[in-house]
Amino acid sequence: MIDNWLDAGWSDRELRADVSVGLSSSPKELPPKWFYDDHGSELFDEITRLDEYYPTRREREILEREAGAIAAAAGADCIAELGSGTSTKTRILLDAFAAAGRLRRYVPFDNSAATLRTAAGEVARAYPGLAVHGVVGDFEHHLGHLPLDDVAAPPDSPPRAPAMVVLLGGTIGNFSPARRPAFLDAVAGAMRTGDTFLLGTDLVKDVDRLVAAYDDAAGVTARFNLNVLSVLNRRLGADFDLDAFAHEAVFDADNEWIEMRLRSLRTQTAHIPALEMTVDFAAGERMRTEISAKFRPERVRSELGAAGLVVQRMWTDADGDYALTLARRVL
């Protein structure tokens, strides 16, 4: 079963609102969610295989080592995954839960209907007996519809086992610190007392390694960053010249986040017919396209705690590059 909370016009309306607000602000800004058209998703996939980009490998390392411990600690029989994508990493968890004899339900949640349909179908085939209930939605808006309970269960059925909601990949780093509390409140609000949240976070480390991960030698991240302009060209009829912008990645030490930007290489004007908008850029002007926050363990603990999610266990890789945290909703 797949629920779809995104009507046909949803993404267009969101894109238009984001672009008109973002490009009329000062400094200009575009939200990172628009990187991921088909080409952008392929480029991101390529990023995860780069030598410089450690987070994906570190996370997989921790998952492979600790999936059994995660299954035991969570005691859940339902896994709900936010931003499930192709559900590849999830299989490590699904296997561990199945091995523990308590895998009953998988709820992948993604904003791409096509990706979700394919992934949900593949998981359902690979795990016979598993109830797969997919949700097409935007996790900034539709967490209230996360179907952790089987709606078809008879009203007199026994209380269910806990569910585990997961957000992997360090995606939470895309939220600014100002917006994280509301997001974590929404996650906790979608859970019930006793449910757990498994969160992947990239950790603060040596600046050179951080910057290299977002400014790789082969220039894949640069193409990924510039691709957002192609998305605007294609979907809004805009005329951004991709050769007239340069990729930049810097570590903001005060905020402890990586900031990606596109720097205008000359004075130029872009036209966005769908918004009846013209946008002037000064030579050297920077437009922010992403923040990727890096965490310290204490901060993960305190932010989760503020949302009523008490950290039960935290796992890191041997080098302390990345953390997986399991927190339980206690009230």
Near ligand AVJ in 202-231, by CB under 6 A: 214, 221
40 lies in the binding site for ligand AVJ (CB under 6 A): no
Angle between helices 55-74 and 90-99 (to 10 degrees): 30
Q: What is the amino acid identity at position 312?
A: Q
Closest CA to 291 of 24, 16, 31, 15: 31
> Are 174 and 32 in contact, with CB atoms under 8 Å apart?
yes
Q: Give least dist CB 44 to ligand AVJ, A.
A: 6
Of residues 45 and 280, the one with the C-beta less far from ligand AVJ: 45
Calpha distance 50→44 (Å, rounded):
10
Q: Give least dist CB 20 to ligand AVJ, A.
A: 23
169 lies in the binding site for ligand AVJ (CB under 6 A): yes
Calpha distance 96→251 (Å, rounded):
36
Q: Which stretch binds ligand AVJ (CB under 6 A): 4-12, 167-175, 226-234, 322-330?
A: 167-175
Calpha distance 136→318 (Å, rounded):
36
- Binding residue for ligand AVJ (CB under 6 A) from 108, 134, 137, 173? 173
The residues pairing with 251 across neighbouring beta strands, listed in sequence order, are 258
Q: Which stretch binds ligand AVJ (CB under 6 A): 3-11, 168-176, 185-193, 323-331?
A: 168-176
CB neighbourhood size of 29 (10 A) = 18
Q: Which stretch binds ligand AVJ (CB under 6 A): 70-78, 104-112, 135-143, 164-172?
A: 164-172
292 lies in the binding site for ligand AVJ (CB under 6 A): yes
Residues that bind ligand AVJ (CB under 6 A): 47, 55, 169-171, 173-174, 214, 221, 290, 292
